Amino acid sequence: MTEIPEHLRKRAEEARQKAAAASGADKPADAAPSETTAPDAESGGSTEGRIPVHLLDRSKAVANQPAPDADPAPAGGGTPAPSSGPDGHNQRLLTVVKSGSIQDAKSVPQDKVHVWPHLLVAEFLAALAVTLFLLAFSIFVNAPLLDLANFNQTPNPSKAPWYFLGLQEMLTMFHPMVAGVTIPGIGLILLAMAPYIDKNPSKAPEDRKFAISLMTVHLMFWAVLVMIGSFFRGPGFNFIFPWTSGLFFEL
Amino acid sequence: MVDSNGSKPTGQALAERVQGSQTWGSIFRPGSIFRKGYSDSPRNRSYVIMNSVLYHLHPVKVKRHAVKVSYTLCLGGLSFFLFIHLTVTGIFLMFFYRPTAAQAWNDILTLQTSVGFGLLVRNMHRWAAHLMVLSVFLHMARVFYHGAYKPPREFNWVVGVMLLQLTLLLSFTGYLLPWDQLALWAVTVGTNMMGFTPVFGPQVRFVLLGGVEIGTDTLLRWYVLHVLMLPFVTVIFMAIHFWRVRKDGGISGPL
């Protein structure tokens, strides 16, 4: 037989004593219950608990019976081994452990859907839409190919790719070491460290007003600089209005 | 279906023979819908992912809110899709391009005028590149506004910032390759800026240009960076990025 944990054994013992005490209080004179008294006990004990009285009686009978090895000559000589039940079963319910107390199962299951088709269809449609957009755009708008590179002819203005135009815009205000390297370098490092700087555990927008404002200000700052660099800078990188002086911008 | 002779129609018999062959079985895993056919059932919906290469990207099931397009706007997935798109069109362009100052510009002109679909593919490559820079930027903003960089996803945000920089570098190195006036002077402006790096400025510029000024060596250097080294590094970072998305419990939210 497998080893029964100490706390389970104690609990079972207590339960058994309690049950014995309860039925003992009912019929204090009945020291050795037999099969003939069972109908009486059933009618008398129907109100007391959830455990059927005939089961209680059976367990009591087993408990009161002397251990087989202690008394080699039991009274009921013809009966089977005393620890067996009426059908020859010798297992007993020790305790009921509710699943929540020992299993690491989520009490509230998450609402999940199959990736196929719910996610894959959406992804496929998004990819299809972008492909069609690119195809249509590429049919109607050609990528620029200017004259052959010529070191002796500097175009006026000379502009970096659009995503660097914010930096080029800052070159008009600061020394190149500050505008071109230090500010973007520090900016990228701070950006990468954002999760370690922002210790606020909440993801709710109403709890993150400062973080959201800060990010929005920075994104807008860069967007405005890129816009100015792209559309509002003409020859000599001087400030112009595109609707009066024309567009000096190539993608 | 059995005809009067008791033998199956040849088409169906052939299909059964092919699907029962060792070759077919070696290509498609047990449980694959290409082995046993597909009918809509929860089990088969799982098998579509579980028994295909898609299992590298997606779990069998995701949170219901994770498939809401209004939450992600598909930006991360589209960035990845644009990367694939750029790889395919870029391989096409490589067949017609030689990275030397004497040949590069002429090769592009020939590609546009004499190669079937050459102009279209070049256009798509360029517009997809700009679109990818944009979508990566927007993806970053989306992730920030959802607070999705918070634990346990801190490190994946760092990987994402690396991917943003790699995207910018990929775009910038591609800018020089047509070897026209736009390419030359945009790169001149950009590399002059990098030359002001504190302490190592001149060295940084020398390494980037492969010399003291932009020339055919710069073109070769940026070509190798653009078609080989940066995509290689980017693929590694993307693999880590996608793997961490799944390991950190799928996408964040709902808010």
Find the CB nearest B81 among A130, A168, A193. Answer: A130
Domain boundaries defined on chain A: 6-102, 113-142, 150-245
Residue A133 has pLDDT above 60, yes or no: yes
Q: With respect to residue B4, please indicate whether it lies within any of the assigned structural domains.
A: no
Q: CA dihedral defined by A20, A25, A30, A34, rounded to 10 degrees?
A: -40
Domain co-membership, B47 together with B69? no
Q: What span, in angstroms and rounded, lies between the C-alpha atoms of B125 and B132?
A: 10
Domain co-membership, B214 together with B92? yes
Q: What is the ipTM of this complex?
A: 0.90
Q: How far apart are the first and last CA of chain B?
A: 55
Q: With respect to residue B186, please indicate whether it lies within any of the assigned structural domains.
A: yes
Q: Look at residues B39, B56, B73 and tell me which one is the last residue of a structural domain.
A: B56
- For B199-213, the DSSP string reads TTHHHHHHHHHTSSS
pLDDT score at A106: 62
Domain co-membership, B49 together with B74? no
- In three state form, how does the secondary structure of A90-132 look? CCCCCCCCCHHHHCCCCCCCCCEEEHHHHHHHHHHHHHHHHHH
Mean pLDDT of A177-199: 91
Domain co-membership, B129 together with B207? yes
Mean pLDDT of A48-73: 70
Q: What span, in angstroms and rounded, lies between the C-alpha atoms of A207 and A194?
A: 16
Domain co-membership, B52 together with B69? no
pLDDT score at B204: 87
Find the CB nearest B150 among A148, A162, A195. Answer: A195
In the chain, the amino acid numbered B67 is: V
Domain co-membership, B86 together with B157? yes
Mean pLDDT of A189-204: 93
Domain co-membership, B28 together with B50? yes
Residue A26 has pLDDT above 60, yes or no: no
Find the CB nearest B183 among A149, A181, A196. Answer: A149
pLDDT score at A43: 45
Largest CA distance in chain A: 122
Q: With respect to residue B255, please indicate whether it lies within any of the assigned structural domains.
A: no
Average pLDDT, chain A: 80
Residue A30 has pLDDT above 90, yes or no: no
Residue B61: closest CA among B243, B248, B249: B249
Find the CB nearest B150 among A191, A203, A251. Answer: A203
Which residue, among A111, A112, A120, A140, would best test binding to B if mutated, counting the most B CBs under 10 Å from its CB?
A112
Residue A77 or residue B51, greater confidence: B51
Q: With respect to residue B133, please indicate whether it lies within any of the assigned structural domains.
A: yes
Mean pLDDT of A181-187: 90
Chain B interface includes A143 (CB < 8 A): yes
pLDDT score at A85: 64
Closest chain A C-alpha to B213 CA, distance in angstroms: 10
Domain co-membership, B123 together with B218? yes
Q: With respect to residue B104, please indicate whether it lies within any of the assigned structural domains.
A: yes
Has this prediction a pTM greater than 0.90?
no
Q: What span, in angstroms and rounded, lies between the C-alpha atoms of A236 and A224?
A: 20
pLDDT score at A46: 46
State how many domains chain B has.
Answer: 2
Q: What is the mean pLDDT of each run of 10 residues along chain B (255 residues)?
A: 60 88 89 86 91 91 91 94 97 96 95 96 97 97 95 95 96 94 90 84 88 91 96 98 93 83
Q: With respect to residue B151, please indicate whether it lies within any of the assigned structural domains.
A: yes
Domain co-membership, B20 together with B86? no
CATH 1.10.287 applies to domain A150-245: yes
CB contact under 8 A, A205 and B255: yes
pLDDT tier at A188, thresholds 50, 70, 90: very high
Q: What span, in angstroms and rounded, lies between the C-alpha atoms of A184 and B193?
A: 11
Domain holding B33, by residue range, is 10-56
Q: What span, in angstroms and rounded, lies between the C-alpha atoms of A84 and B180?
A: 97
Q: What span, in angstroms and rounded, lies between the C-alpha atoms of B194 and B190?
A: 7
User: Which tokens is A146 given?
Assistant: 């200017």
Domain co-membership, B115 together with B241? yes
Residue A33 has pLDDT above 80, yes or no: no
Q: With respect to residue B5, please indicate whether it lies within any of the assigned structural domains.
A: no
Other CB atoms within 10 Å distance of the CB of residue B135: 24
Domain co-membership, B212 together with B91? yes
Chain B interface includes A173 (CB < 8 A): no
Closest chain A C-alpha to B192 CA, distance in angstroms: 9
CB contact under 8 A, B124 and A127: no
pLDDT tier at A67, thresholds 50, 70, 90: low
Residue A140 has pLDDT above 70, yes or no: yes
Question: Looking at residue B119, which CATH number applies to its domain?
Answer: 1.20.810.10
pLDDT tier at A104, thresholds 50, 70, 90: low
